């Protein structure tokens, strides 16, 4: 018997039980056969399409748009049902607890007339919220660019750089793009910030250098008077695809690195650059990807060679776990770190100044926005593009503008 048979039987059984439980709500609310059958067919199509894409896709192609849309369709159908199941299960638990209590206290159990139907109606109403949100996220939210502005003050910032501005973008993931008009709008929005420098913190593609071909003329339009600088992200190494030969993987990696000068970016591979102004200077340090538990090509010591400890330093490091485990307590004092990688998981709730939540926070300590420890800052940009799920819900694509101030 093939190894995959038992796991598939278990997964199929879980899906059937889950779907049957959610379908109870539909049966209680309506007797219309068209609605009932449509519900079942839509769910079935989502699962069949998803597993078909998984089992028939060429793994050497990495994560394709076809997979993204299959995953998006399945989540669109699945997530709202999760809310329905939670409501229906909660009602069942309460009902059976009440039955047990009445039994042991010698009381006759009397069900509340119409309660289960009311719970089903409530569950379906609540489930409509994530359904509508995900629908918006897939078709509009992924291009709902937000410009977030911060002003950061440092005692050791050179006087000449008081008011110096940085635009940070990250996680372009060009292999996911499907709307040239929207991407052009995002590029124009970056240029509208008129920052002194533009810094890109990795993941220019999903898997292959060719994904960027049609977007090179567009991203070549980005302008900054003091330069454009970049680093690599985890997806830029080709580690998420199966390659016929190691030479093919290396050729793709070289082609990805060659994209950066084609769009006018100075790619830093464990290297550094000085920016000079009025006789003073600040250091830009760019490390290759360093992530907790995988791909640790980043070499902070090598990247900082030739930099003085007393220099004001801006570190570009794709994965924020690098800051958490290696950078924030380093005696060399990296005053500001710019990262990306997390995307805020492209799903969450953010009410500025009041509340923010995303499943990403259970994986990353620094998952989105600005953080400060040991008098040092890290900004985790939520990403320009999207990946895996073809949308964004509550966690919008981000362009960060940081103004440096002399404290």
- How do residues 313-372 score in pLDDT, each as one tens digit? 999 999 999 999 999 999 999 999 999 999 999 999 999 888 999 999 999 999 999 999
| Mean pLDDT confidence for 152-170 | 97
| Mean pLDDT confidence for 306-319 | 97
Four-point Cα dihedral 200, 205, 207, 208, nearest 10: -110
| Mean pLDDT confidence for 82-111 | 85
Task: Determine contact, residues 323/293, Cβ cutoff 8 Å.
Answer: no
Which distant-in-sequence residues (6+ apart) come within 8 Å of 169 by Cβ? Answer: 190, 198, 199, 200, 201, 381, 384, 399, 400
Task: Determine contact, residues 78/46, Cβ cutoff 8 Å.
Answer: yes
- Domain range list for the chain: 5-139, 144-406
Which pLDDT band, with edges at 50, 70 and 90, does 2 fall under? low
Give residue 145's pLDDT. 98
Task: Determine contact, residues 392/142, Cβ cutoff 8 Å.
Answer: yes
Give residue 3's pLDDT. 67
Which pLDDT band, with edges at 50, 70 and 90, does 298 fall under? very high
Which pLDDT band, with edges at 50, 70 and 90, does 294 fall under? confident
Give residue 195's pLDDT. 98
- pLDDT tens column, 215-238: 999 999 999 999 999 999 999 999
| Mean pLDDT confidence for 295-324 | 95
Across the chain, mean pLDDT equals 93
Cα–Cα distance, 162 to 401 (Å, whole number): 15
CA–CA distances in Å: residue 58 to residues 52, 62, 67, 178, 241: 12, 8, 11, 21, 9
The two tokens of residue 129 are 């919220």
Q: Position of tokens 């690599």?
A: 232
| Mean pLDDT confidence for 106-113 | 75
| Mean pLDDT confidence for 75-88 | 92
Cα–Cα distance, 307 to 146 (Å, whole number): 34
Poorest-confidence range of 20-34, 149-163, 165-179, 275-289?
20-34
Which region, left, alpha or beta, applies to residue 341 given φ > 0 means left and ψ of -120 to 50 means alpha? left
Which pLDDT band, with edges at 50, 70 and 90, does 1 fall under? low
Cα–Cα distance, 386 to 171 (Å, whole number): 8
Give domain 144-406's CATH number out of 3.90.700.10, 3.60.21.10, 3.40.190.10, 3.40.50.261.
Answer: 3.60.21.10
> For the whole model, what pTM was predicted?
0.91
Cα–Cα distance, 96 to 109 (Å, whole number): 10
Which pLDDT band, with edges at 50, 70 and 90, does 125 fall under? very high
Which pLDDT band, with edges at 50, 70 and 90, does 108 fall under? confident
Task: Determine contact, residues 237/208, Cβ cutoff 8 Å.
Answer: no
- pLDDT tens column, 193-208: 999 999 999 999 999 9
| Mean pLDDT confidence for 272-291 | 97
Q: Terminal CA-to-CA distance of the chain, rounded, Å? A: 69
Give residue 142's pLDDT. 96
């Amino acid at each position: 018997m093939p190894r995959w048979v038992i796991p598939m039987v278990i997964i199929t059984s879980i899906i059937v039980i889950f779907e049957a439980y959610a379908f109870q709500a539909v049966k209680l609310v309506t007797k219309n056969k068209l609605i009932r059958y449509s519900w079942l067919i839509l769910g079935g199509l989502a699962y069949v399409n998803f597993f078909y894409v998984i089992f028939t896709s060429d793994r050497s192609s990495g994560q394709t748009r076809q997979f993204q849309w299959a995953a998006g369709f399945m989540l669109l159908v699945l997530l709202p049902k999760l809310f329905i199941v939670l409501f229906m299960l909660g009602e069942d638990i309460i009902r059976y607890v009440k039955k047990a209590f009445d039994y042991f206290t010698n009381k006759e159990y009397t069900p509340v007339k119409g309660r289960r139907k009311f719970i089903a109606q409530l569950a379906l109403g609540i489930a409509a919220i994530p359904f509508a949100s995900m629908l918006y996220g897939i078709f509009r939210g992924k291009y709902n660019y937000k410009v977030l502005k911060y002003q950061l003050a440092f005692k050791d910032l050179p006087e000449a750089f008081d008011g110096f501005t940085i635009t940070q973008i990250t996680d372009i993931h060009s292999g996911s793009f499907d709307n040239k008009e929207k991407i052009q709008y995002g590029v124009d929005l970056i240029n509208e910030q008129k920052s002194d420098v533009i810094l890109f913190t990795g993941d220019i593609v999903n898997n292959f250098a060719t994904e960027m071909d049609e977007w090179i003329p567009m991203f070549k339009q980005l302008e900054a008077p003091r330069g454009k600088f970049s680093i690599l992200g985890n997806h830029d190494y080709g580690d998420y695809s199966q390659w016929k030969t190691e030479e093919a993987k290396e050729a793709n990696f070289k082609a990805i690195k060659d994209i950066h000068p084609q769009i006018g970016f100075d790619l830093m591979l464990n290297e550094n650059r000085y920016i000079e102004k009025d006789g003073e200077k600040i250091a830009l340090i760019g490390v290759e990807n360093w992530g907790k538990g995988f791909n640790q090509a980043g070499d902070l010591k090598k990247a900082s060679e030739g930099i003085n400890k007393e220099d004001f330093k801006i570190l570009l490091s794709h994965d924020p776990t690098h800051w958490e485990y290696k950078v924030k307590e380093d005696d060399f004092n990296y005053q500001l770190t710019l990262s990306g990688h997390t995307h805020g998981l492209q799903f969450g709730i953010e009410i500025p100044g009041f509340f923010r939540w995303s499943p990403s926070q259970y994986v990353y300590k620094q998952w989105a926005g600005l953080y400060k420890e040991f008098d040092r800052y890290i900004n985790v940009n939520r990403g320009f593009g999207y990946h895996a799920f073809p949308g964004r819900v509550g966690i919008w694509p981000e362009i960060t503008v940081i103004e440096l101030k002399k404290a």
